[in-house]
Amino acid sequence: MEKTKSRRLNISFESDMEEHEPEASAKGGGSGKDKQPQSKGKIWEFIAIASIPLVLVLGNSMLVPILPDMQRELHVSDFQSSLVITLFSVTAGVFIPVVGYLSDQFGRKAIIIPSLIVYGAAGVLAGFGAVWGSYSVVIWARALQGLGAAGTAPIAMALVGDLYNGATESKALGLTEASNGFGKVVSPILGAALALIVWYAAFFAFPLFCVLSLLAVMFLIKEPQEKSSGKQPLGKYLHTIGQILKGKGRWLITSFFAGSLGLFTLFGILFYLSEILEEKPYSLDGVIKGLVLAIPLAGLVITSYTTGSVIKKNGTLMRWLMNIGLILSTASLGLTLVWNKEHLVAFMALITLSSVGTGLLLPCLNTMITGAVDKSQRGMITSIYNSLRFLGVAAGPPLIGALMENNENIVFIMLSSLALIALALVFFLVRPEPNIARKPQKAS
């Protein structure tokens, strides 16, 4: 029995924010009226938090439909235009752990606010580079945007862990994942629509979303007061992170891998779909193609939000949902070898089921990883996780593209095999306590 217990994840979920119950409620009367303003305030806070991953996605995915126009107008190659997306993602992936450390030392809003400013300002600079016909300005501005992006959604995940506990935390994390997915749904459609005005309109439209998110973060989110006695020196901080990875690395690293793989698969498949939908007999392009690509993404969005709403802190339910999600992804990706692109309706249904599986997996991983460590190390741990997710997004399209040139079946053999490996690792190594809201006993 003792051996079985030792295999369980030792995760403590606690809020750094004091919960203030209305005085009338404590006395047993008038709870409905007293809780209404608090509930409304929380809704606006949720919206402010959800705007951060939404802005992150819009700043990248809105540009995908205009890459052919950029090649023509700036006289650049396919490879040069692809760097507009890839350099952004790689820069963000490299710097996310750095800003994660800074957020642990100086606070989440102290990093998110300047990051949004840099993100939006660099977007304006990239827009002027496009107007001037300067590819060099565009590409350097995109690298700067990647630096700004590093301090947005990844730090927002740590902020959720600081602000909430219990079912509210899971719901907020599910909402951020759904917001991320919603951004992926609308951004190609929005980018294609803006290109009808002028091809570089997306560069200038995006900073407007940044301003709205910036104002929401500044005025709608109240960050918890810092409780630590002081800032940790870098050496001691890294030692603490090392100890966390040593003690919890078996399930944390597995979770990092599973989350990164989920987005690698999603973006790889979207790239594959984008390529085949433009070919005969489909010949889809522009907004229509964006709407078709939105189908599997809609499955991800709806499932992510629903999962985040229902899991609360039920470790048993999380384990079931993670394994069911990975089984669904493995089976549906494997079945695409039978019902392939020649059977488009069945193929799209299988791809959507795979996205639903990812929607079951990611909110559970987000909740466990966010709650696995104290506030003082949360920024770094969630940043490592998000950095790997970013690199998964960056690696998916080029790797899938290279495999497509040889044999398209290899794409889905590889993806279903990776999903099966992730299923085995999660099944054996990620075993949360039945009620992970229960705090472990402190060592005496």
- Report percent pLDDT > 70 for the chain: 87
pLDDT exceeds cutoff 80 at 381: yes
CA distance 222 to 241: 27
**CA nearest 223: which of 386, 379, 368?**
379
CB 391 within 8 A of CB 89: yes
Torsion sign over Cα 182, 272, 423, 96:
negative
Least confident of 14-18, 388-392, 401-405: 14-18
CA distance 357 to 329: 5
> How many other β-carbons are positioned within 10 Å of the β-carbon of residue 243?
12
Least confident of 191-200, 325-334, 412-421: 191-200
Among 56-60, 255-259, 432-436, the range of highest mean pLDDT:
255-259
What are φ and ψ of residue 110, in 5° steps? -65, -20
> How many other β-carbons are positioned within 10 Å of the β-carbon of residue 132?
12
**Of 68 and 243, which is predicted with more confidence?**
243
Six-digit token string for 403: 């495999």
pTM for this one?
A: 0.77
pLDDT exceeds cutoff 90 at 282: no
Q: pLDDT value at position 248?
A: 87
| pLDDT single digits (tens) 345-366 | 999 999 999 999 999 999 999 8
**Of 39 and 118, which is predicted with more confidence?**
118
| Single-letter residue type at 61 | S
Mean pLDDT, residues 264-269 taken together: 86
Six-digit token string for 265: 């698969």
Specify whether the backbone of 312 is left (phi greater than 0), alpha (psi in -120 to 50) or beta: left
Mean pLDDT, residues 384-389 taken together: 86
CA distance 299 to 60: 21
Q: pLDDT value at position 161?
A: 83
Least confident of 190-204, 217-231, 411-425: 217-231
What are φ and ψ of residue 134, in 5° steps? -105, 105
| pLDDT single digits (tens) 212-255 | 999 999 998 888 776 544 566 777 777 878 888 888 889 999 99
Q: pLDDT value at position 227?
A: 52
pLDDT band at 58 (very low <50, low <70, confident <90, very high): confident
Q: pLDDT value at position 8?
A: 52
Query: Who's near 320: CB < 8 A, 6+ residues apart?
Result: none
Q: pLDDT value at position 226?
A: 60
pLDDT exceeds cutoff 70 at 274: yes
Q: pLDDT value at position 153?
A: 82
Cis amide linkage into residue 281, ω under 30° from 0: yes
pLDDT exceeds cutoff 70 at 36: no
CA distance 60 to 113: 19
pLDDT band at 412 (very low <50, low <70, confident <90, very high): very high
**CA nearest 340: which of 324, 354, 355, 351?**
351
